[in-house]
Amino acid sequence: MANQKLLEMLNDAAARELQVSIQYIWQHVMCKGMFSETVSEVLEKIAIEEMKHYEAIAERIDYFGGTPTTKPAEIKYGKNIKEMLEIDKKDEENAIILYKNIIEVAESEKDFVTKRLFEGILKDEEEHHYKFSTLLEAD
């Protein structure tokens, strides 16, 4: 079973996934301007991926006997596409740091299932970061 530190980290990850799911879907709706169609589609796709991450993390927390949070971390929107993407890029950078830490703790606990879960999520988050970074170059 997971130790308390790992459970807290998993709930931090769950809150983050809820945050960006809501944040990205709202930004998808709010997109306006020259690149809005492209950015809107990207945000919608990533929002759905982030919700799937939340589901997987919540299931892991439940497996350990914990209660997954239903409260998102602070949601930020931005006033225009550039601000949105800058916020989102930073959120992905923070997720990458957190998920690498979770992988390290899971490995030290010999919790290979959590480690593999977060390795997969980390790969997705790096792809999201790259997507937001390249979209910012186009602006």
pLDDT tens digits, one per residue of 38-68 = 999 999 999 999 999 999 999 999 999 999 9
When comparing pLDDT for 136 and 35, which is higher? 136
CATH assignment at residue 21: 1.20.1260.10
Residue 16: the pLDDT is 98
Mean residue pLDDT of the chain comes to 96
Contact 117, 60 (CB under 8 A): yes
Residue 34: the pLDDT is 86
- The distance between the two most distant Cα atoms of the chain, rounded to a whole number of Å, is 50
**Average of per-residue pLDDT across 6-11:** 97
Name the percent of the chain lying above pLDDT 90. Answer: 94
- Helix 4-30 × helix 81-108 angle, to 10°: 160
Q: pLDDT by residue (tens digit) across 78-104?
A: 999 999 999 999 999 999 999 999 999
Q: Angle at Cα 39 formed by Cα 90 and Cα 118, nearest 5°? A: 45
Taken as a whole, the chain contains a residue count of 139
Please report which helix (H) or strand (E) contains residue 139, including its range.
Answer: none
Residue 25 CB-half CA count within 13 A: 10
Split into its structural domains, the chain has a count of 1
pLDDT at 139 > cutoff 60: no
- Helix 4-30 × helix 112-138 angle, to 10°: 30
What letter does residue 88 receive in the DSSP assignment?
A: H
Domain span at 64: 4-138
Residue 138: the pLDDT is 59
Q: What is the pTM of this model?
A: 0.94
Give φ, ψ of 26 to 5 degrees: -70, -40
